[in-house]
Amino acid sequence: MKKDSVIAILGGQPAFTQSLHVGRPNIANRERFLERTGEMLDRRWLSNNGPLVQEFEQRIAEFLRVKHCICVCNATIGLEIAIRAADLKGEVIVPSFTFVATAHALQWQEISPVFADMDPATHNLDPAKIERHITPRTTGILATHVWGRPCPVEVLAEIAQRRGLKLMLDAAHAFGCSYRGRMIGGFGLAEVFSFHATKFLNSFEGGAITTNDDTLATKIRLMTNFGFAGYDNVIHLGTNGKMTEVCAAMGLTNLEGIKDLVAVNRRNYEAYRTGLASIPSMTLMTYDPTERGNYQYVVVEVDEATAGLNRDELVRVLHAENVLARKYFWPGCHRMEPYRSLYPYAGLLLPETERVAARVMVLPTGMAVTVEMISTICGIMRTAFTRSTAVRSALA
Among 107, 198, 212, 370, binds ligand T4K (CB under 6 A): 198
Residue closer to ligand T4K, measured from CB, 307 or 361: 361
Local structure of 118: helix, strand or coil: strand
Residue closer to ligand T4K, measured from CB, 250 or 307: 250
Among 2, 3, 10, 21, binds ligand T4K (CB under 6 A): 21
Does 102 participate in binding ligand T4K (rule CB under 6 A)? Answer: yes
Does 22 participate in binding ligand T4K (rule CB under 6 A)? Answer: yes
Residue closer to ligand T4K, measured from CB, 7 or 151: 151
| Of 42-50, 74-82, 263-271, 352-360: span binding ligand T4K (CB under 6 A) | 74-82
Report the site for ligand T4K in 317-346 (rule: CB under 6 A).
324, 328
The H-assigned helical ranges of the chain are 30-43, 51-64, 75-85, 100-107, 153-163, 214-224, 245-256, 258-276, 304-307, 311-320, 339-342, 351-357, 371-386, 388-395
Residue closer to ligand T4K, measured from CB, 117 or 383: 117
Per-residue x/- marks for ligand T4K, 132-151, CB under 6 A?
A: ------------x-------
| Of 190-198, 259-267, 271-279, 378-386: span binding ligand T4K (CB under 6 A) | 190-198
Per-residue x/- marks for ligand T4K, 203-242, CB under 6 A?
A: ----x-----------------------------------
Residue closer to ligand T4K, measured from CB, 194 or 211: 194
- Specify whether the CB–CB gap between 209 and 223 falls below 8 A: no
Q: Which letter does DSSP use for residue 331 in this model?
A: T
Local structure of 2: helix, strand or coil: strand
Q: Determine the size of the site formed for ligand T4K (CB under 6 A).
A: 23
Beta carbon of residue 284, minimum distance to ligand T4K (angstroms, whole number): 19
Among 57, 80, 91, 170, binds ligand T4K (CB under 6 A): 170
- Residues 124 and 117: their CA atoms lie apart, in Å, by 8
- Residues 308 and 254: their CA atoms lie apart, in Å, by 42
**Nearest in space to 251 (alpha carbons), one of 210, 202, 296, 294:** 202
1 CB-near residues (< 8 Å, 6+ apart): 17, 18
Beta-carbon count within 10 A of 277 CB? 11
Beta carbon of residue 123, minimum distance to ligand T4K (angstroms, whole number): 11
Give burial (CB, 10 Å; 0-12/13-18/19+) of 215. Answer: exposed
| Of 2-10, 166-174, 208-216, 369-377: span binding ligand T4K (CB under 6 A) | 166-174
Among 56, 97, 99, 330, binds ligand T4K (CB under 6 A): 99
- Residues 155 and 141: their CA atoms lie apart, in Å, by 12
**Nearest in space to 111 (alpha carbons), one of 136, 97, 92, 96:** 92
- Residues 170 and 67: their CA atoms lie apart, in Å, by 18
Beta carbon of residue 29, minimum distance to ligand T4K (angstroms, whole number): 18
Residue closer to ligand T4K, measured from CB, 194 or 265: 194
- Residues 264 and 366: their CA atoms lie apart, in Å, by 6
**Residues that bind ligand T4K in the complex, under the rule CB under 6 A:** 21-25, 74-76, 98-99, 101-102, 144, 170, 172-173, 194, 196-198, 207, 324, 328
